[in-house]
Chains A and B, each alone.
Chain A
């Protein structure tokens, strides 16, 4: 079965540094998402992306966050100036459509901000 792949699996950074989390969604999917899960808490929606633009974003997704699809395969999440509270598991997901269709999640990137 096709998979969503994420790199790196773990990222450690200093507070205030910029990080870029990378994702390769499933090739024929059109909708892309970023979610995060703080340790012990529920999965939280960050942003959805379609047709090269953001379609929805949550309150968490403030000016420090940005997403980009730089080419035909990659989908990235950038955090400009990381804070301690950004430490979490970040999941990328993709889906064929947007009608509440099944999300295919990657294995996540564990971000630790020191």
Chain B
């Protein structure tokens, strides 16, 4: 069964600090991995996409890594801001019979304190 596990479940950091969120998956056959940011009461918004051949991808202060061998990904946030407070969701898509069904993780709830 395809699964996506994220850790930690929640994280509290001070403004300006860095943090790293983890994602482990058992999704096969792997197609791609996305990190989404979900503000409270809003729909998720895509931050980055990683394909099998990519190890690192940056989007501003967000840097995602992917180790396809160990089936792990991380999302590193640099110099956190109050607006980074949100749930960060790891989504892994499997390619199956021409369709791509994404599996969502439960998310990491990040709170940035001033």
A residues near B (Cβ < 8 Å) are: 4, 41-45, 48, 55-56, 91, 93, 98-100, 102-108
Determine whether B99 belongs to the interface, using a CB cutoff of 8 Å to chain A: yes
User: Chain B interface mostly helix, strand, loop or mixed?
Assistant: strand
Q: List 27 A-B contacts (CB under 8 A).
A: A4-B43, A42-B89, A42-B104, A42-B105, A42-B106, A42-B107, A43-B44, A43-B104, A45-B101, A45-B102, A45-B104, A48-B99, A93-B43, A99-B100, A100-B31, A100-B49, A100-B95, A100-B100, A102-B34, A102-B49, A103-B46, A104-B46, A105-B43, A105-B45, A106-B43, A107-B43, A108-B41
Binary interface profile of B, 80-114, with partner A (CB < 8 Å = 1, else 0)? 00000000010001010001111011110000000
Complex CA–CA separation, A10 to B41 (angstroms): 11
Q: Are A56 and B101 in contact (CB under 8 A)?
A: yes
